[in-house]
Structure 1
Amino acid sequence: MMMRRVAASLVPPWLETLLSTPFFATCPVHPDAPRSERNMFCLDCGDSASSFCLYCRTDLHSGHSVIQIRRSSYHDVVRVAEIRNVLDIRGVQTYVINSAQVLFLNERPQPRGGGRGGVGGASSSSSTPYICEICARALLDPFRFCSLGCKLAGIKRNGDATFVLTPDDDEEAEGRREESSSNAEAAEESKPRRRGRWGSGLREETGHEDRSPASLPPPPAFSRRRKGIPRRAPFAS
């Protein structure tokens, strides 16, 4: 009982719900929408949260703290950039997939055979000396856990780790957010700009020239020369 209370103080109330929530089913509210898969999760709705689609986010979770879940080899992952500002992810193995750092949500089945098990993991028989403390999955780097779920199990078992950010971590997260915002602004400013005509005035364009239908040149007119009246050759005298 004491260990449960300790674990509860080290884990956000929404985390266990996140790890047990099924994702990527079709949204029953927007089944015919082009992006209706349920791959969003709201952190502000607490342990009563569930997965939802992009359109539900606009309708029901506007202004909330929402993260997007993605898939890698049929397993759910979350980008480090989205989760590190609300969760202490130290000790969890990160992977680079599609040029983005990600974390796996839950423990995955061990790959069969020897050697490394493809993207995001290795078998326990590989030569790496690093393994997950909970499921014994071989890791690529000196981390303690292979997923958020295994770290949660480690906290419940040992109580020597935490998911809760400290005030210093909050300041660091805020600095990362400001840095990310500054980098985005700098990238926008570095885009090539050129001037293009818009009506009677001038305005700056970013990367390409914006043209309204009125400013487009008219289609070429193909004139057809009408044949003249046929004339009979004069009779020879």
Structure 2
Amino acid sequence: MKRAEVPSWLELLLATQFFTICTTHFLATRNECNLFCTQCEAAPRALCCHCRSCDHSTHRVIQIRRSSYHDVVRVSDIGDILDIRDVQTYIINSARVVFLNERPQLRSSGVSISKASSSSSHNCKMCGRALLGAFRFCSLGCNLKGIKEDMDMPVMVESRLEYGGKDIVTSNDNVGSSTASIKDSCNDNNEEEPPPKRIARHRRKGIPQRAPFF
């Protein structure tokens, strides 16, 4: 995903807790909240099947699933509304899915996480988890963190100053260099400066020595 392609509902999706009992339909059967509406940002964000039929029947709703106690979503449910080309996908129960958030990495057999990650040719850019293919992130959460990290990086802003018919490119973080460039431009426009005068210094004569008498 790129900065301009991040939808407003993605951060809400990653912060929502699923697989809880719906408080609105507490006494109903199949009241587990495992649905999310991408068009509504008002609470509650996690919906059950009864909430969907009542208030979100015409909205785009995606279903959240569980894999080893972690939330996943099928690529077929989200691939057409979210760019996931940089996120590692997995096949679970004959369906290709992506994880919503970063999964904790545990130490195994006395090998540290950093050493285990370095042995893989592909790793997540945010958490370092080993990836199966040429992807950049292990989950949608790490992908969003990577986008936010790129947005926090300072961007070089260039401005052009005109002096004497010449364009001088300067940056906002290097004012000193721009001043030096202006001075150099001034020297180029003016005539060549005469070389500094040399002060003639007379060499001091030494004390004359007479030839020895024989």
Normalising by structure 1, we get a TM-score of 0.58
Q: How does 1:19-34 map to 2 (within 5 A)?
A: 19-34=14-29
Q: How does 1:195-210 map to 2 (within 5 A)?
A: none
The residue identity in structure 1 corresponding to 2:54 is D
Q: Which residue of 1 aligns with 2:178?
A: none
Seen in structure 2, the aligned counterparts of structure 1 residues 88 and 47 have a Cα distance that, compared at 3 Å, is farther
Distance (whole Å) between structure 2 residues aligned to residue 41 and residue 94 of structure 1: 20
The residue identity in structure 2 corresponding to 1:35 is R
Between the aligned residues of both structures, percent identity stands at 57
1:155 aligns with 2:147: yes
* DSSP-derived class of the 1:41 partner: strand
* Contact 1:14 1:47 survives alignment (8 Å): no
* DSSP-derived class of the 1:151 partner: helix
* DSSP-derived class of the 2:25 partner: coil
1:42 aligns with 2:37: yes
1:138 aligns with 2:130: yes
What is the deviation of 1:156? 1.1
- 1:212-234 per-position Cα deviation (integer Å, ceiling 9, x unaligned): xxxxxxxxxxxxxxxxxxxxxxx
* DSSP-derived class of the 1:125 partner: helix
Q: How does 1:1-237 map to 2 (within 5 A)?
A: 7=3, 9-46=4-41, 50-113=45-108, 125=116, 127-158=119-150
- 1:4-52 per-position Cα deviation (integer Å, ceiling 9, x unaligned): xx94x33101110000000000011222323111000001113656001
Q: Which residue of 2 aligns with 1:219?
A: none
Distance (whole Å) between structure 2 residues aligned to residue 76 and residue 124 of structure 1: 27
Distance (whole Å) between structure 1 residues aligned to residue 66 and residue 138 of structure 2: 16
Q: Which moved more, 1:147-156 or 1:38-47?
A: 38-47
Alignment root-mean-square deviation, CA: 2.2
- 1:55-105 per-position Cα deviation (integer Å, ceiling 9, x unaligned): 110001011000000011111000000000100011100000000000000
**Alignment coverage as a number of residue pairs:** 147
* Contact 1:110 1:123 survives alignment (8 Å): no
What is the deviation of 1:124? 5.9
| Runs of 5+ consecutive residues of structure 2 not aligned to the other structure | 152-214
The residue identity in structure 2 corresponding to 1:157 is E
Distance (whole Å) between structure 2 residues aligned to residue 157 and residue 129 of structure 1: 23
Seen in structure 2, the aligned counterparts of structure 1 residues 155 and 62 have a Cα distance that, compared at 3 Å, is same
Distance (whole Å) between structure 2 residues aligned to residue 48 and residue 10 of structure 1: 24
* Contact 2:114 2:128 survives alignment (8 Å): no
| Runs of 5+ consecutive residues of structure 1 not aligned to the other structure | 1-5, 116-121, 160-237
Instruction: After the TM superposition, list the runs of 4 or more consecutive aligned residues in structure 1 that deviate by more than 4 angstroms.
Output: none
Structure of greater Rg = 2
The residue identity in structure 2 corresponding to 1:77 is V
- 1:79-136 per-position Cα deviation (integer Å, ceiling 9, x unaligned): 0000001000111000000000000000010133159xxxxxx986164211100000
The residue identity in structure 2 corresponding to 1:61 is H
Q: Which moved more, 1:87-96 or 1:122-131?
A: 122-131
* Contact 1:124 1:137 survives alignment (8 Å): no
* Contact 1:124 1:136 survives alignment (8 Å): no
Distance (whole Å) between structure 1 residues aligned to residue 115 and residue 49 of structure 2: 38
